[in-house]
Structure 1
Amino acid sequence: MLFGYDQGVMGGFLTSGPFERTFPSISYGNSPTMQGFTVAVYEIGCAAGALSVILGGDGFGRRITVMLGQTIVIIGAILQASAFTLPHLIVGRIVTGVGNGMAVAVLPTWNGECCRAANRGRAVLWQLNVNIFGICIAYWVDYGVNKSNLTVDTDWSWRFPLALQIVFSSATIILSMFLPDSPRALIKQGRLKEARDVLDMLSTVEDPVERSEATVSRSLQTIAMAIIERNLEEEAARDGSWGQLFTQGRPRFFQRLVLAVVSLCMLQISGVNLITYYAPVIFQNTLGMSRDTSLLVSGFNGLEYWLATLIPIPLIDRVGRRPIMLFAAVGQCISMAVLAGCIAYPANKAAGYVAAVFLFVFNTFLAIGFDGIPFLLPVELTPLQTRAKSVAIATAFFWLCNFFVVMISPVLIENIKYGTYILWAGTNFAFIPMIYFLIPETLRANLEDVDVLFENNPTWLIGPGSRKKLAAIISNRRASEEAEMNAAREAKEPAEGARGMVEHDEMKKEKM
């Protein structure tokens, strides 16, 4: 939620009188480059935070990394809310970014590694649904402080929204204390007993006695541990240097790193953060709305965006990742093209209304296909041995692309106006062949099943036919698991019979 709130909160007071009086050098129309830099420098901090996870993501575990990141966010929020000079505000945004970048690099991985294959997609999409709810909250907080007589013409109209970040970070730290770490991360650290305990906690069997005594449950837990341990042993035998990330080998390390980077960068260069960060500015200065109306429409835009993220949740683990992303890319391309056509006629009121509607339409398509899936794919497509590093690198690229988009957006709007939307229509069009040819389907697969898919298909054009190939891999794995469980049952029955005979003989001796 904090991730989304941070993305949406700045746009609401960039045209605010009290904010402009405190920081006149970045007021609207004065210096679009400096305004873009001040907003976008947060992403530089996020990229640095994401890269720091490479050093500590596996060593500290997922849970501690998130808690440490949120502590840094609190420090940054205090710096931002207490700023009286532009350098002070910029430092606060960088510090906040470092902390949030750490959390965003770890949270989807932590979530994905604690989920069953059947519901991993839904779990990560729920996570990103809450992210968009944070954007919605930011818009309505900005609208609220603009309407309140207590804050409308005071510094609290922007200090309070920035200070509110502390509430989200504090809640994250407290709630993380009650959550288990990832079983895969624990196994990689050699903490096997804790990993077994976490697998037991994550079991869907509610009764603790039944969960511990059921042969099938124990067998499944043993198989889950064995698969992860086996993969780790095989990977440990290979070269573990940093250079491994940029080599292929049988696991296709470099290809999978590239796909993780591409999936997250596609989200950013779709143009979404032109709208997310600058929605009130677009409605007010591009479409000619009053400040009050622009904040109100931005609030409804954020609300509709959040509600639209509910659409793919029941579909993701039924339809799959690729079809949903392809559908969204086509819709986003068309939406941006319509926006370009409408904004080309700024004096036409009807064109302005259509443009406002298609800002909503674009967000809807993006919420369906690009809001959560790009965060899910880096977890699913990268192997355990390099997952923490690969996801952190992909997340760093995500933030750098975010910085690029947010930095240049005010400059583009000022200089090429409707051409800005033609640019984003072109990038969304390019996504269609990229998704079709490069990104494989991961529907209902264990993370280890995806390893097999890449090992058995040494090609960059892995997308076409990947769904059928993965289904065959899943079928073979389930048959193997069932055979192992049957063997475990057969081995257990004679042992229990022999133990029963021994107990019977002992009882006879006692009676004699």
Structure 2
Amino acid sequence: MKPFSAPYSVLTDRLRGRGESSKWIEYLITTTCAIGNMLFGYDQGVMGGFLTSAPFEKTFPSISSTGSSTLQGFTVAVYEIGCAVGALSVIFAGDRFGRRTTVIYGQMILIVGSILQFTSYSLAQLIVGRIVTGIGNGMAVAVLPTWNGECSRPTARGRAVMWQLNVNIFGIAVAYWVDYGVNQSSLTVNTDWSWRFPLSLQVVFSILTIIMAFFLPDSPRALVKQGRMGEARDVIDMLSLESDAETREDAINFSMSIIETSLLEEAESNSSWGDIFTQGRPRFFQRLCLATMSLAMMQLSGINLITYYAPTIFQNTLGMTREMSLLLSGINGIEYWLSTFIPIPLIDRLGRRPMFLFAAVGQCISMAVLAATIAYPNDKAAGYCAAVFLFVFNTVSGIGFQGNSFLLPVELTPLQTRGKSVSIATGIFWLCNFFVVMISPVLISKIQWGTYVLWTGTNLCFIPMIYFLIPETQNATLEDVSALFEQSETWLIGPGSKKRLAQIVANREAIEATGADGEKVFTGHVEKLTMES
């Protein structure tokens, strides 16, 4: 039943077959995914702003500044447990429902969780609400980058996912400024609305995401995997930038043959669900590990220590007033968001690996400086320096880690296991998030500056991991990336991967351009395909 079984076509019918103007379908999918991801960022930033507010502490004294830091960390971090459950549920439901419908269901669950949160009068209800919200958000976040990436052109896929994650960081900035606004307003500052209103805004973003998803198509690759070939052809047709009908038909046939052959070859290996943990010719397990690693590295860099607890760090660690800590957190959120504009024009020019390495080095240096300066809490100059390097850390993370971490799982995993692999990777991502958010207030209270030494060490380890293990995926189709893994029977795939991938892309484009005698290219091999009359 529409709009769950299929989207309303009133919007896409007006845009298809119009050449370059058809890009707007792709742009609208990216926008929908971005708004959905905005909730991820918003919830990361919103809790830290009212943890130390008087009305919130009065309602929940057991997690106040004088209460248990462990219980406070659990209350904030339990959201990540819900997100992990939601992400892992996509393993079983994602391919069945498809990308678009999974997002819709996730947002509906998120609305229920948000209502539970902002109507809470007990800590138990708040915790349950955060778990339910997490389940819905985990479902959506596990699928949104895949939906966006699979509907994007190879030369624009990096930028599309970067835009999506840019709005995610914008959500963090919005949360900080909403918290600052309700703290400054005489109408809300000393009332429960100082924390209920920020939590209630999540419902607005979810409703907007659902409405937009009602009018947009699912991923053609997901539809092919479900056996819905006619619908997949229709989506490829509406995403095509060819205005000439005959040329567009040829392009559709080629795209369908690539996707179908990809799925067929992987299926012919007689793979089962458990084979995701084996290698085989497609190197399933290696690609699962890389998808998981790229997401886990973002969490274990220490970014969410700053994202979730920025106001607390400014107020309790650096000794600033509550008003100043909220203001600086808002400025920090805006600066963090602005930094994510930098990789958008660069990701498909420079590639993924250079930006990933840049961020790992920058984050390592920033955390080392933070450790050194926070070790002197009574030194005013050291406090200013620490505040500056909180900004520096966010900047380099926004440039090289944020978008890359979500883009690579989509690009590195094969179609046959992509839904399951990305779900597992995202589930582990949320568990790492839970670990970081749970232990951060405890670490800050117990070992103080030693907390930042820990994150210096993790970022230092990331540098060789990125260099040796993660390949380049720049300007290649998802099937080209599969060819790279099949031709590179080593875990140390990173060095030289850009050159090898460029040759695979060149081979495919050469044969695609000729199209003679029904020859098609797939995974670096030229194969004779039977063309139906």
TM-score range relative to shorter protein = over 0.9
Q: How many residues align?
A: 482
2:168 to 131, 134, 139: 131
Partner residue, 1:32? 69
Superposed structure 1 runs of 4+ greater than 2 Å apart: 485-488
User: Deviation digits for residues 172-211 of structure 1, max 9, x if unmatched?
Assistant: 1001111110000011111111111111111123xxxx33
1:399 is aligned to 2:399: no
Question: How far off is 1:255 after superposition?
Answer: 0.3
Equivalent positions of 1:362-373 (< 5 A) are: 362-373=393-404
Contact 1:46 1:97 in 2 (8 A): yes
1:335 is aligned to 2:372: no
User: Deviation digits for residues 317-358 of structure 1, max 9, x if unmatched?
Assistant: 000000011011111000000000110000001110110010
Contact 2:114 2:199 in 1 (8 A): yes
Partner residue, 1:262? 293
Question: How far off is 1:166 after superposition?
Answer: 0.4
Contact 1:219 1:485 in 2 (8 A): no
* Change over 3 Å in CA distance of 1:2–1:211 after alignment to 2: farther
Contact 2:266 2:282 in 1 (8 A): no
Distance in 2 (CA, whole Å) between partners of 1:78 and 1:372 is 30
2:505 to 468, 474, 497: 474
Distance in 2 (CA, whole Å) between partners of 1:288 and 1:349 is 10
The runs of 5 or more residues in structure 1 that have no matched partner are: 489-512
Question: How far off is 1:94 after superposition?
Answer: 0.1
2:273 to 239, 242, 253: 242
The amino acid that maps onto 2:87 is: A
Question: How far off is 1:239 after superposition?
Answer: 2.5
Distance in 2 (CA, whole Å) between partners of 1:7 and 1:19 is 17
Partner residue, 1:304? 335
Question: How far off is 1:212 after superposition?
Answer: 1.8
Distance in 2 (CA, whole Å) between partners of 1:204 and 1:343 is 54
Question: How far off is 1:233 after superposition?
Answer: 1.3
Distance in 1 (CA, whole Å) between partners of 2:103 and 2:395 is 30
Three-state SS of the structure 1 residue aligned to 2:251 is: helix
Partner residue, 2:81? 44
Contact 1:321 1:373 in 2 (8 A): yes
Q: Which has the larger radius of gyration?
A: 1
1:411 to 428, 442, 448: 442
Distance in 2 (CA, whole Å) between partners of 1:166 and 1:199 is 32
TM-score normalized with structure 1 length: 0.93
RMSD, aligned α-carbons: 1.0
Contact 1:143 1:299 in 2 (8 A): yes
Question: How far off is 1:487 after superposition?
Answer: 6.0
Distance in 2 (CA, whole Å) between partners of 1:459 and 1:370 is 25
User: Deviation digits for residues 212-248 of structure 1, max 9, x if unmatched?
Assistant: 23x3x32222111101001111122223322101110
Partner residue, 2:514? 483
Partner residue, 1:446? 477
The amino acid that maps onto 1:381 is: L
1:211 to 236, 244, 247: 244
The amino acid that maps onto 1:261 is: T
1:78 to 112, 115, 124: 115
The amino acid that maps onto 1:273 is: N
Distance in 2 (CA, whole Å) between partners of 1:310 and 1:470 is 27
Question: How far off is 1:484 after superposition?
Answer: 1.3
Partner residue, 2:345? 314
1:224 is aligned to 2:255: yes
Question: How far off is 1:486 after superposition?
Answer: 7.9
1:163 is aligned to 2:163: no
Distance in 2 (CA, whole Å) between partners of 1:3 and 1:479 is 41
Partner residue, 1:499? none
User: Deviation digits for residues 397-456 of structure 1, max 9, x if unmatched?
Assistant: 000000000000000000000000010011011100000000000000100001110011
1:147 is aligned to 2:184: yes
Contact 2:288 2:413 in 1 (8 A): yes
The runs of 5 or more residues in structure 2 that have no matched partner are: 1-37, 520-533
Distance in 1 (CA, whole Å) between partners of 2:205 and 2:214 is 15
Contact 1:274 1:406 in 2 (8 A): yes
Partner residue, 1:189? 226
* Change over 3 Å in CA distance of 1:106–1:99 after alignment to 2: same
Distance in 2 (CA, whole Å) between partners of 1:399 and 1:420 is 20
Three-state SS of the structure 1 residue aligned to 2:367 is: helix
The amino acid that maps onto 1:166 is: V
